Amino acid sequence: PGVIEHQHQQVPALRGRRLPDYQPVSLYPGEVPTQLPNASFWQQQGFRFENFTPLEMDADKPLPHLRMDNALDFLLGDKLT
């Protein structure tokens, strides 16, 4: 996980190394649509997927997390108080 600036806002991003040159890259995956786009969207959309590999991790350190504590607090916090 990472953060980049997109349209003057800090947004979550994916961090890794671009293939085949292994240069560091942070990718904004885009917005998830609220509903399935119609057929013409798929015909006109110019998708460009970047091939990348995850960053190397130290085997002796814990995995990074995505603030699951905040998600659980949001979902369950009022039920537990």
Tens digits of per-residue pLDDT, 27-68?
A: 887 777 788 888 888 788 777 778 888 878 778 887 777 787
What's the pLDDT at 81?
65
- Band of pLDDT at residue 74, cut at 50, 70 and 90: confident
Residue 59 corresponds to which tokens in the numbers above?
Answer: 């085997």
Q: Would the pTM count as exceeding 0.85?
A: no
Nearest to 27 by CA among 19, 15, 17, 39: 15
Dihedral angle over CA of 53, 55, 58, 59, nearest 10: -30
Contacts of range 36-43, beta carbons closer than 8 Å, 24 or more positions apart = none
